[in-house]
Amino acid sequence: ERPKIPRDPINDKPQTRVQRENKKVKEIYSRQKYLDNRNERYSWLRRAKKLGIEPLGAGRPSKEKLRAWRDSIVEAENRLARGE
């Protein structure tokens, strides 16, 4: 005779289980998105420090300020590459 396997009570409500699993997946993806954004911000900050460009101020910058800051970094890198 086979040994009895204890039943998992979470299977009593399949819809609830699906909702919980979907929530966990969403949390994992949002965490990963946050980490990717943080890594990207850090890499831009590192590039700016190497070139002697001031970092952006605290808080969320406007799109225009962020774009201008990043453009200044790329421009400085290009000038450095050309030897100016």
Digit-coded pLDDT (tens) for 48-77: 999 999 999 889 999 999 999 999 999 999
Per DSSP, the residues of 36-67 read: HHHHHHHHHHHHHHHHTPPPP-SSPPPHHHHH
Query: Which pLDDT belongs to residue 48?
Result: 96
Query: Which pLDDT belongs to residue 5?
Result: 87
Digit-coded pLDDT (tens) for 18-41: 999 999 999 999 999 999 999 999
Q: Could you tell me the pLDDT band of residue 1, with boundaries at 50, 70 and 90?
A: confident
Query: Which pLDDT belongs to residue 84?
Result: 74
Q: How far apart are CA 51 and CA 31, in angstroms?
A: 31
